[in-house]
Amino acid sequence: MSQTIDFQTDPSRYRHWRVEYDGPVANLFMDVDEAGGLFDGYELKLNSYDLGVDIELNDIVQRMRFEHPEVKVVVMQSAKPGVFCAGANIRMLGGAAHSHKVGFCKFTNETRNAFEAAEADSGQKYIAAVKGACAGGGYELALACNHILLTDDRTSAVGLPEVPLLAVLPGTGGLTRVTDKRKVRRDLADVFCSMEEGIKGQRAAEWGLVDEVIPNSTFDETVQQRAAEFAAASTKADIASGIALHALNRTIAEDSVQYEFVQIDMERDKRCATLTIQAPTEAAPEDMAEFEAQGDEAYFLKVCRELEDAILHLRMNEMEIGLWVFKTAGDARLFAEHEAVCFDENHWLAAEVRHYWKRTLKRIDVTSRSLVAFVENGSCFTGVLAELLFAVDRSYMMEGEFEDDERAEAAVMLTTANFGHYPMSNALTRLQTRFLGQPEKVAAAEAAQGKPLEAEAADALGLVTMILDDIDWDDEVRMFVEERTSFSPDAMTGMEANLRFAGPETMETRIFGRLTAWQNWIFNRPNAVGSDGALQRYGTGVRGHFEMERV
């Protein structure tokens, strides 16, 4: 699995999904091409999925928001008789490298979180219309929807059979959504997650595993009726049309990836990548009407799309690049003007762009790499880009003038963006998380918004980790990079993930923290992935052989 994975796609290239639009209702059909696996060596039978299937779904969810804002209800259903979705493809999991399995689970989690939040963020309610087997990751797809309908035909069932069949966990949120979202009793959840065959009919509704059980004879009619009812009851404004999302202009070279406003430069000998984000050079749109007219060429949307693609590219294609360095450059005031246009609370596209930035920043939060920001002269850590300072593990800032450096002195500028628009998975802002238990520090930072804060002021407010003058900068930065990349990647992943999410636990932090951490560990255990493990023996008719020591 050494080929480059491309996270860009479009409807003309879909092999696994199709969408039929009918005014405020979109019918989303899962119709996985068995021969369309991302890699060789397995077939995607029974609507099972791999990363390629989920890349398409992620694209659909994004386009639903930007290209089809008229949609108020999305009905997720299967185009194959007798099966809704059999979940993640077992042959793919059995043959994949550990790093790919874990990265795949993370991306699928993010995709499910994206359409799960679509009702609250975008007024788009997702319904799962379950006919046939709905097992493992298939049920996890349904769980992330806002409403689940199950047909009562004596064979259709929902299930999470990973523990008895594969010796792994339902790793894309299944355990957490059953208890935290659907509020299934713990003991019933224990029974449910220990069953290979799943649960059918009225019992599934009684346990809270689905919302409605519909007679098979009226199922299709009832699904469309329910979709129409939900659409009629929606408070989402009627929007005539959206904007098209075109392919990004991107050049991938051996040690770099170049977009229009984002640049990745890799130093492989140092296991380090630098992501530089450029501020705009053109004047900001006058208002959201002009922004909408610019479509996906509008700077504040385009730079977010480029940053997201850069994050996903590095995550899955550059596994040994263990340290990401974030830099910015350009006119901070001009960036702030572009950003300010999208704080129009009454425009649908402004809200969608802000939510897009929120999701992209969350991708950074949960990335298993060491993250650092260098606030250099001429930088543009302003507004949403200042959020990077609070997302990374450390930040270093230049102090004072540097010899032969004619760029403007390094400064940080906070805006309204930093005080509520981009919450983390723990439902707090990054500044609230940074100053947990010190709300006065957040208030002091808020009082300073709109002002360029040079090194001493930024340090006094606690916005950066360390400020360094011309004498110390090069040596301190070099020593940090060398030290960080010399540590065990496993220890770094564990330390960073534990430190990034202070504060209250939410369903989302449990999925990305507790559940993902356990799945990561279980994917390394011989009971699952050893030569005699359940994941390797699945489908052979021979049960996995387990080491019975409890660890």
Span 166-178, mean pLDDT? 91
351-370 residue pLDDT tens? 999 999 999 999 999 999 99
Under 8 Å between Cβ of 441 and 432 = no
The mean pLDDT value for 245-249 works out to 98
SS3 390: helix
Q: Closest Cα partner for 141 from 172, 118, 185, 162?
A: 172
DSSP state, 510?
A: I
Residues 6+ apart with CB under 8 A from 502: 426, 433, 436
What value does the mean pLDDT take over residues 520-546?
90
Please count the residues of the chain: 551
Q: Residue 501: its pLDDT value, please?
A: 85
Gyration radius from the chain CA atoms = 24
Decide: 504 and 293 in contact? Cβ < 8 Å: no
Nearest C-alpha neighbor of 500 from the set 318, 307, 367: 367
Q: What is the pLDDT of residues 290-337, one digit of tens each?
A: 999 999 999 999 999 999 999 999 999 999 999 999 999 999 999 999
pLDDT reported for residue 171: 81
User: Would you list the domain boundaries of the chain?
Assistant: 11-233, 251-493, 496-537
The yes-or-no verdict on residue 1 having pLDDT over 50 is no
Q: Are 257 and 249 in contact (CB under 8 A)?
A: no
- Angle CA 371–372–373, to nearest 5: 135
8 A C-beta contact, residue 108 and residue 173:
no
Say yes or no to pLDDT of 467 above 90: yes
Q: Does the 11-233 domain belong in CATH 3.90.226.10?
A: yes
* pLDDT surpassing 60 at residue 84: yes
Give, in order, the Cα–Cα distances in Å from 261 to each of 18, 257, 346, 463, 497: 32, 11, 28, 25, 29
CB neighbour list of residue 220: distance below 8 Å, 6 or more residues apart: none
Tell me the C-alpha to C-alpha distance, in Å, between residue 429 and each of 239, 273, 289, 361, 420. Answer: 30, 26, 29, 11, 6
Domains 11-233 and 251-493 fall in the same CATH topology: yes
Distances (CA, A) of 348 to 66, 177, 298, 434: 9, 29, 15, 31
Contacts of 361 (CB under 8 A, 6+ apart): 384, 387, 388, 391, 422, 424, 430
Rounded-to-integer distance, Cα 353 and Cα 292, Å: 11
Could you tell me the CATH superfamily of domain 251-493? 2-enoyl-CoA Hydratase; Chain A, domain 1 (3.90.226.10)
Can you read off the two tokens belonging to residue 188? 């019933």
Q: Could you give the percent of the chain with pLDDT greater than 90?
A: 92
**pLDDT per residue as tens digits for the range 401-452:** 999 999 999 999 999 999 999 999 999 999 999 999 999 999 999 999 999 9
Q: What is the pLDDT of residues 505-525, one digit of tens each?
A: 999 999 988 888 888 889 989
Task: Give residue 2's pLDDT band: very low, low, confident or very high (50, 70, 90).
Answer: low
pLDDT at residue number 86: 96
Number of CB atoms found within 10 A of residue 493's CB? 18
Mean predicted lDDT score pLDDT of the chain: 96
Mean pLDDT, rounded, for 116-133: 97
**Whether the predicted pLDDT of 131 surpasses 50:** yes
Is pTM beyond 0.75? Reply is yes
Mean pLDDT of 120-143: 97
Q: Read off the pLDDT of residues 146-160 as tens digits, 9 standing for 90 and up.
A: 999 999 999 999 999
Can you read off the two tokens belonging to residue 360? 């992209």
Kind of pairing between the strands at 394-398 and 466-468: parallel
Rounded mean pLDDT, 374-395: 98
Strands 381-382 and 411-413 turn out to be parallel
